[in-house]
Amino acid sequence: MKVPELIDEILLILNEEEMTERELAEKLRVERAMLRKVLEFLMEMDFVERANLKLKLSESGRRLVRLDVY
């Protein structure tokens, strides 16, 4: 799946249901690393509001451990 198609699919799915990053990756059949980068891009471009994302960082604060999208 190409990135523009992935972005469209993510936005469509997230408008309808709540799920974790893992569930979203499985539904879209993409690697979580790629999904994470696309979600970060969407946040930067204000397509997805930060208030709708719950980020859990590792203890060092450098690695994203979990990302829930509401």
Read off the CATH number of the domain in which 65 is found.
1.10.10
Could you give the C-alpha distances from 50 to 15, 28, 29, 30, 36, in angstroms and in order? 14, 21, 24, 22, 14
pTM to 2 decimals? 0.52
For residue 38, the enclosing domain spans 3-69
Segment 48-70 mean pLDDT: 57
* Domain total in the chain: 1
Confidence of residue 48 (pLDDT cuts 50, 70, 90): low
Per-residue pLDDT tens over the stretch 5-33: 887 887 777 777 777 778 888 888 888 88
* Averaged pLDDT score across all residues of the chain: 71
Higher-confidence residue of 50 and 4: namely 4
How far separated are the first and last CA of the chain, in Å rounded?
Answer: 23
